[in-house]
Amino acid sequence: MKTLHSSFFSAALIAAAAVTFVAASSSITYAQSVPQSVAPAVQAAAPAPVPCSAPADLVRLTHPLSRTARKLAAGQPITIVAIGSSSTAGAGSSSPAMNYPSRLAVELKALFPRAEINVINRGVNGETAVEMLARFDTQVLPEKPDVVVWQVGSNSVLREQPIGPVNTLVHQGVDKLKAAGIDVVLMNPQYAPHFISKPDAEKMIDLIDLVAKEMNVDLFQRYAVMRYWRLTENIPFSTFTSPDEVHMNDWGYGCVAKLLASAISEASTRAAQTATARPAAR
């Protein structure tokens, strides 16, 4: 067991070195260029490498990923299920390899090279919370995931449906996941032109934030991260969203995956350090 813990913390230290939470700049950065295989239309949307950054307080997960940390420390495989709608399925990307769950698997492998980490994409175009929740028993729980990343809330706003029911549905879904002992990460909607033009866009963001706090689960603040790109870094929407102005493009998916992988790494490392800490001698 000492060897397993040593291997885990070595990997964790490497991950921590790779992901710089710098107090002075309070941001996480990396540079990502568009692959040569991407279609010309996508290349035109992001013609040059752009630094991908977000303040550390926007990407840090509030709660440690305890189950994930235990399994990493034990050298056991990790399964992550990403469930959501089209921005999980990968609408707007140039290929399935470029959607965020696929890129998340690549980024986590780089951070934990000795670990076996499997990311399963359960995104379905057009779904709302009620349809996603209906799939939990057939497409999520049977995979026995250690982490579930649930991207939710976009389509109810885009269709201008009442958002009140989303509160109850997400509570029910999180209850189901927590009862199975799964680490839960909610992901809120995208900051994209068509979404932010809708009257209930900010209300949905507030609703999901409240649910995460009430249920004591993590929230990956995709909306705030993308807003930071546009309003603080002055990155054009065309750099990170597809021509439909709803979904992300390859750059956007890749950056979200990079930042989410960093957040998962840090939260897992933090959980392991907390579990192994010993009280000071009296």
Distance CA 220, CA 188 (A): 7
Residue 282 within a domain: no
Residue-range definition of the domain harbouring residue 194: 2-276
Chain length of the chain: 282
Residue 72 within a domain: yes
The residue among 107, 84, 79 whose CA lies nearest residue 263 is 107
Backbone φ, ψ for residue 124 (5° rounding): -135, 125
Instruction: Report the CATH number that the domain containing residue 15 is assigned in CATH.
Output: 3.40.50.1110
pTM: 0.81
The 10s digit of each residue's pLDDT in 79-94 is: 999 999 999 999 999 9
Backbone φ, ψ for residue 119 (5° rounding): -110, 120
Classify 57 as helix, strand or coil: helix
The residue among 70, 93, 87 whose CA lies nearest residue 121 is 87
Residue 18 within a domain: yes
pLDDT higher than threshold 80 for residue 77 = yes
The 10s digit of each residue's pLDDT in 229-280 is: 999 999 999 999 999 999 999 999 999 999 999 999 999 988 666 555 444 4
Average of per-residue pLDDT across 45-54: 70
The 10s digit of each residue's pLDDT in 152-205 is: 999 999 999 999 999 999 999 999 999 999 999 999 999 999 999 999 999 999
- Provide long-range contacts, Cβ within 8 A and 24+ apart, for 198-206: 198/157, 198/158, 198/160, 199/160, 200/156, 200/157, 200/160, 200/163, 201/157, 203/163, 204/153, 204/156, 204/157, 204/163, 204/166, 205/153
Residue 51 pLDDT:
85
Q: Calculate the CA 36 to chain-centre distance.
A: 25
Average of per-residue pLDDT across 120-132: 98
The count of structural domains within the chain is 1
Residue 281 within a domain: no
Residue 246 within a domain: yes
Q: What is the dihedral of CA 35, 38, 44, 46, to 10 degrees?
A: -40
What is the full DSSP assignment across 139-188? Answer: IIGGG--SEEEEE-SHHHHHTT--SHHHHHHHHHHHHHHHHTT-EEEEE-
Element (H, E) at 80: strand 78-84
Please report, rounded to a whole number, the percentage of residues in the chain having pLDDT higher than 90. 77
Distance CA 150, CA 252 (A): 18
Residue 234 within a domain: yes
- Provide long-range contacts, Cβ within 8 A and 24+ apart, for 24-31: 26/55, 26/56, 26/57, 27/53, 27/54, 27/55, 27/56, 28/53, 28/54, 28/56, 28/59, 28/259, 28/262, 29/53, 30/255, 30/258
pLDDT higher than threshold 60 for residue 14 = no
Range of lowest pLDDT (36-50, 62-76, 214-228) = 36-50
